[in-house]
Amino acid sequence: MLSQIPLSYFLIVSTLMFFIGVYGFLTRKNLITILMSVELILNSVNINFVAFNRYLYPEQLQGHFFALFVIAVAAAEAAVAIAIIISVYRKFMNIDVERVDTMKH
Amino acid sequence: MRLESFLLMRHEILLTVALLIILIAELSTENKKKISNLSVILFLGVTVIGFLPVPEGLLFGEMYRTSHLIVLMKNILNIGTLILFFQSAEWIKQTEYKNKVSEFYMLILSTLIGMNFMISSGHFIMFYIGLELATIPIAALAAYDRLKNISAEAGIKLILSSALSTGIMLYGISMLYGTVGSLYFSDMAGANLNTPLQTLAFIFFFAGMGFKISLVPFHLWTADVYEGAPINVSSYLSVISKGAAVFTLTIILYTVFYSIMPMWKNLLYVVAILTMTVGNLFALRQQNLKRFLAFSSVAQAGFILLGIIDGSGLGMASVVYFVLIYIFTNLGAFGVVSAISVASGKEHIDDYNGLYKTNPKLSLLLMLALFSLAGIPPVAGFFGKFFLFTAAAHSGYFWLVFIAVINATISLYYYLLVVKAMFINKNENPIAYFKSAFTTKVGLLLCVFGIFAIGLLSPVYEFIRMFSNIL
């Protein structure tokens, strides 16, 4: 089944996800949505790693393992980021990036 | 694998043990002052043991590697952290931090473990874990001051921009994996990375590292985070964290991306000019000392690229030497700003008017540190810059050196503005005289010692140069 889907399809999906993530990161105003955009970028990386591993280098598992580590570390990162977002909310009563702008220039 | 081979990882193991001891002490005692003293003493031990001679070698199937140069880099980072601990001992005793003393030490130690793994990595998974271990706790530290709005703002700015840059870097690494088929540094060094896709992957990777070092297109987080974070955390970010990232970038450029050296040299050429110029121009208009030091550290990162661009052992030696000097110099500057901030809460350049009348010793020390940052001859900063420029000239980048010299002159202007404020400007209400604590004095005196000794003692450079050819 899998052999009927060419590798490039996976790469197109992951590239789209990556750029949607970057676009979302730059345009969204809500801190949680920005965090979701970052997760999108990391997941596009995971798709890349797993697809490359499965199609090009199936005899080794380096890509799969990298994807596992990315997932684990992304969870840690999200935990800290959400903790900081909560502390931002307590201070500013808001999680809109345009309101969290005490420091400029 | 024998038990002795674990001794190769001595730095990381010692740091982990120290971290666990602090954790147990935190659980078993209520006296926070004791924890602070215990952490400093433990870390002093870790630093001293780190200097014992160690063999070179590889561990975990080449995922972890160590050499004399790498051990030297780790020792340099340890010295910097030790000085920072001395300087923070007084700051951490303030009432608002009373209940979270051990968190500060534990988070700093865990980032240091991450940096050590990052420097020692021989595989991109190891590198990635080290990088994240060195980044995520710093974001928590930046948001350490829960009473201040700007601290939370600094934390969120740091973690989100670091997450984006790591994501971009990982995307680059995934493309490298797709084209080479392995994530080991040695396999990548053996492959020829000349295709356009690999060039793109390298640029993505460089963007991620550029964020950590705060090179110019990726420096926008620097000033805000340095201003908002507690001052000792900013100091850690600008010195130790940046130093570790510089070491790692140099090692990876010289080994993994050796095959595309002409390409990355062109890239570094442009980025170095941009970083020096933009950092300097923005530093000119800063009034808050933390923001001022932030942009000055951006400009210094541009100078460091002049050493990296050489691409040989000479460049490596000049980078390690400069970072060693930079640690003493910048910790001296941040140490004075921190001591004054603890005593009076003032961080503005205008507040420093007439400081020499009331606190002559601190003024002299800050002047020394700023002279060293600007690169004025008798102090160490001059020699650091001299070797960086030599390394760039060695590869024939004379125009780059010329632009760097012009930038060094511009930087002298704004460093002298602070010196002028302290020594010449009149102030009816200067910062009152205060006595620093013993630990702060030790931390600052170590910086003075470093600023003078490292420049004048040539064996230091010879020692670094001796190891630098072996990678």
pLDDT > 90? residue B170: yes
In a domain, residue A10? The reply is: yes
Least confident among A25-29, B52-56, B337-341, B441-445: B52-56
Predicted confidence band of residue B128 (pLDDT cuts 50, 70, 90): very high
Q: Is B163 on the interface with A (CB under 8 A)?
A: yes
In a domain, residue A102? The reply is: no
Residues composing chain B: 471
In a domain, residue A84? The reply is: yes
Mutate to test the interface with B, among A66, A85, A97 (most CBs of B within 10 A): A66
| pLDDT at B354 (0 to 100) | 82
Q: How far apart are CA B264 and CA B305, in angstroms?
A: 11
Average of pLDDT values for B169-179?
92
Q: Which of B184, B209, B189 lies closest to B58 in space, CA to CA?
A: B184
pLDDT > 90? residue A79: yes
What integer best gives the mean pLDDT of chain A? 90
Q: Which of B177, B199, B323, B315 lies closest to B257 in space, CA to CA?
A: B199
| pLDDT at A2 (0 to 100) | 64
Total domains in the fold of chain A: 1
Distances (CA, A) of B345 to B209, B339, B342, B358: 34, 9, 6, 16
Average of pLDDT values for B296-302?
92
Q: How far apart are CA B451 and CA B86, in angstroms?
A: 17
pLDDT > 70? residue A105: no
| pLDDT at A91 (0 to 100) | 87
Query: Which DSSP string corresponds to B291-359?
Result: HHHHHHHHHHHHHHHHHHTT-SHHHHHHHHHHHHHHHHHHHHHHHHHHHHHHHH---BTGGGTTHHHH-
pLDDT > 90? residue A23: yes
**The two three-digit tokens of residue B9, written as one number:** 């990882």
Q: Which of A42, A56, A69 sits opposite B181 (nearest CB)?
A: A56
Contact (CB, 8 A) for B435 and B361:
no
pLDDT > 90? residue B182: no
| pLDDT at B435 (0 to 100) | 80
Q: How far apart are CA B150 and CA A91, in angstroms?
A: 9
Q: Which of B339, B366, B242 lies closest to B294 in space, CA to CA?
A: B242
Q: How far apart are CA B243 and CA B237, in angstroms?
A: 9
In a domain, residue A45? The reply is: yes
pLDDT tens-digit map of B268-291: 999 999 999 999 999 888 888 888
Domain that holds residue B437: 3-467
| pLDDT at B471 (0 to 100) | 56
Beta pairing, strands B57-59 & B64-66: antiparallel
Find, in chain A, the residue whose alpha carbon is nearest to that of B175.
Answer: A48
pTM over 0.95: no
User: Do the Cβ atoms of B136 and A76 come within 8 Å?
Assistant: yes
Total domains in the fold of chain B: 1
Predicted confidence band of residue A1 (pLDDT cuts 50, 70, 90): low
Please return the burial class of B396, using the count of CB atoms within 10 Å of its CB with bins 0-12, 13-18 and 19+. Answer: exposed
Q: How far apart are CA B51 and CA B74, in angstroms?
A: 10
What single-letter DSSP state applies at residue B195? Answer: S
User: Do the Cβ atoms of B183 and A66 come within 8 Å?
Assistant: yes
| pLDDT at B216 (0 to 100) | 86
Residues of B with CB below 8 A from A42's CB?
167, 170
pLDDT > 80? residue B330: yes
Q: Which of B136, B143, B183 sits opposite A77 (nearest CB)?
A: B136
**Amino acid making up residue B1:** M
Report the percentage of chain B scoring pLDDT > 90.
37
pLDDT tens-digit map of B214-245: 998 888 899 899 988 989 999 999 999 999 99
| pLDDT at B375 (0 to 100) | 86
User: What are the backbone dihedrals phi and psi of residue B67, each rounded to the nearest 5 degrees, phi first?
Assistant: -145, 175
User: What are the backbone dihedrals phi and psi of residue B468, each rounded to the nearest 5 degrees, phi first?
Assistant: -75, -15
Instruction: Provide the 10 A C-beta neighbour count for residue B202.
Output: 21
| pLDDT at B8 (0 to 100) | 83
Find, in chain A, the residue whose alpha carbon is nearest to that of B295.
Answer: A105
| pLDDT at B380 (0 to 100) | 87
| pLDDT at B1 (0 to 100) | 65
Query: Which DSSP string corresponds to B244-293?
Result: HHHHHHHHHHHHTTGGGHHHHHHHHHHHHHHHHHHHHHHHHT--BHHHHH
What integer best gives the mean pLDDT of chain B? 88
| pLDDT at B91 (0 to 100) | 84
Q: Is B217 on the interface with A (CB under 8 A)?
A: no
Q: Is B145 on the interface with A (CB under 8 A)?
A: no
Residues of B with CB below 8 A from A57's CB?
181-182
Q: What is the CATH number of the domain that holds A87?
A: 1.10.287.3510
Average of pLDDT values for B95-115?
87
B303's CB contacts (< 8 A; 6+ apart) are B272, B276, B322, B385, B388, B404, B407, B408
| pLDDT at B286 (0 to 100) | 86
Our CA-based measurement puts residue B161 at a distance from the nearest CA of chain A, in whole angstroms, of: 9
Residues composing chain A: 105
Q: Which of B235, B449, B422 lies closest to B339 in space, CA to CA?
A: B235
Predicted confidence band of residue A97 (pLDDT cuts 50, 70, 90): confident
Query: Which DSSP string corresponds to B138-170?
Result: HHHHHT--TT-HHHHHHHHHHHHHHHHHHHHHH
Domain that holds residue A59: 2-92
Q: Is B228 on the interface with A (CB under 8 A)?
A: yes
Average of pLDDT values for B50-77?
86
